[in-house]
Structure 1
Amino acid sequence: MSSTRSLVGQLADSFVDVIQKVDAEIGENRTYGPGIGPHDEDDQIDSLVQAVTQRDLFDGLISTAKSDVSTVRYPGGQAADLYLEADEKSEYCEAKLFRFQKANGNPYAREFSKVFNPFQDRNPRSFIHDVNKLAAAEIQSTKSFLGMYYRPVEGAGTEITGEEIADKFAADVTHWTDHSIEVDNVVPFSGLQHEVHHRGAVLTWTLESGK
């Protein structure tokens, strides 16, 4: 996409600039193989943010739930996954892995449910309910959402692009909640070292005003 409305949409471009470096340096996650793909959500997001910060690719403040939980908290005692400040703007962002295959290539039904299940409103809360949570928060900052989508290389789902999965999630939010989100940025990546978690896209959305 040629332009973004959100700070996290800008950050998505920077994530793709550094993802191969992070992939090479992050190391293996237990027995699941090399690279960033097998790591959990907090480690992936925090490692990418650290790399972006080290290279001065984002002109502003970025805090993650792993690096500074006090900064990502907002009124009501809840917390987002990212907090961003730049250009006199502030933004709270929820993030989720869109990783629907296990490291061995088998389908990962639990991870699919953690994104799309409209009935999963308790821990682990689905991403649809993360939208509800942040949308209901009494904060004046922009509310945004980020997904790390790992597109299958083999098997079911190989044909599903980042744009398609981003549109699908936005449509599901509209269908299952009282809120609407708009696709903000979709930035493809490829060439990662894990044979299953090898390619994909960074996806971002923004909460539509008043919704």
Structure 2
Amino acid sequence: MEDALSLDVFTEAIADAVPAVDRNTTGQYGDGLGSEDEERQVELLLDHLRETDDRYEEVNREVPYPDSSEKCDLVLPNGMPVEAKLLRYWRANGDPEPAMYGHVFSPFHQNTLLTDARRLHTSEFSGRSGLLGLFYTRADDDPETVEALPERYTAGEIAEKIVRDIEHWYDEVNANICMITEFNRLQHSIHKKGAVISWLVE
């Protein structure tokens, strides 16, 4: 019997799909999935899953919030809304991406992981909701990893920081790590490995 398409199952499936999609992606800024933008990555990964498993035909994209004109990135077949974010701290040429920290961790801007969590919590979607992060980092043997990469720049540390930051900024929102599934051996010279991270929001 197939597993129900819960957030943890979806997280693992997305991570399992990354290497296959990566092999077949010719990017504008280098071959591989890692240099593509957020919307393109979600599109390619979901298209791949739909080709291999009919359950993913029922994952809807860009679904309007019940109480506003804003749209949610994904809604799973069980009705769970999920906002997705690209967690990528280097540009394709290897330079740091200066806007990325705020894009993920800021409580003061729209469409960050933190403000997405609050929007999901206060929306009229019923039940629990989810966050999904596509996290990329450099290869272990990359010289920049040794020189500039903080030891705590790992999928696990990022996942825990999101939980702490949501707790700090929003008393009414509760977030927990759902699943972290790693992937590696990707094509791009900078975006060589990473993980898919998911959080449950209540």
Pick the TM interval, shorter chain.
Answer: 0.7 to 0.9
Alpha-carbon deviation of 1:34?
A: 1.1
**Structure 2 residues without counterparts, runs of 5 or longer:** none
Give the equivalent residue in structure 2 for 1:61: 58
Residue pair 1:41, 1:96 contacting (<8 A) in 2 also: yes
Q: Distance in 2 between matches of 1:172 and 1:157?
A: 21
Distance change >3 Å, CA 39–CA 166, structure 1 → 2: same
Residue pair 2:49, 2:56 contacting (<8 A) in 1 also: no
Q: Distance in 1 between matches of 2:187 and 2:124?
A: 42
Give the equivalent residue in structure 1 for 2:188: 194
Q: Distance in 1 between matches of 2:167 and 2:53?
A: 36
Residue pair 1:6, 1:184 contacting (<8 A) in 2 also: no
For 2:118, give the aligned amino acid: N
- Percent identity of the aligned residues? 31
Distance change >3 Å, CA 158–CA 61, structure 1 → 2: farther
Q: Distance in 2 between matches of 1:207 and 1:27?
A: 35
Give the equivalent residue in structure 2 for 1:101: 90
Residue pair 2:5, 2:55 contacting (<8 A) in 1 also: no
Give the equivalent residue in structure 1 for 2:130: 144
For 1:177, give the aligned amino acid: Y
Matched, 1:127 2:113: yes
Q: How many residues are paired up?
A: 191
What is the DSSP-based 3-state SS (H/G/I as helix, E as strand, rest coil) of the residue aligned with 1:171? helix
Distance change >3 Å, CA 10–CA 57, structure 1 → 2: farther
Question: For residues 164-183 of structure 1, what are the structure 2 equivalents within 5 Å?
Answer: 164-178=157-171, 179-183=173-177
Alpha-carbon deviation of 1:102?
A: 1.1
Q: What's the Cα RMSD here? A: 2.1
Alpha-carbon deviation of 1:60?
A: 6.6
Q: Distance in 1 between matches of 2:54 and 2:160?
A: 27
TM-score by length of 1: 0.83
Distance change >3 Å, CA 99–CA 132, structure 1 → 2: same
Q: Distance in 1 between matches of 2:42 and 2:154?
A: 21
**Structure 1 residues without counterparts, runs of 5 or longer:** 66-71
Distance change >3 Å, CA 199–CA 80, structure 1 → 2: same
Q: Distance in 1 between matches of 2:64 and 2:194?
A: 29
Distance change >3 Å, CA 171–CA 17, structure 1 → 2: same
Per-residue displacement from partner, 1:166-209 (whole Å, max 9, x unpaired)? 1111111111123121000000000110011110100000013x
Residue pair 2:50, 2:57 contacting (<8 A) in 1 also: no
**Among 19, 24, 32, which residue is 1:35 paired with?**
32
Residue pair 1:60, 1:84 contacting (<8 A) in 2 also: no
Per-residue displacement from partner, 1:138-172 (whole Å, max 9, x unpaired)? 12143100000112333333642211111111111
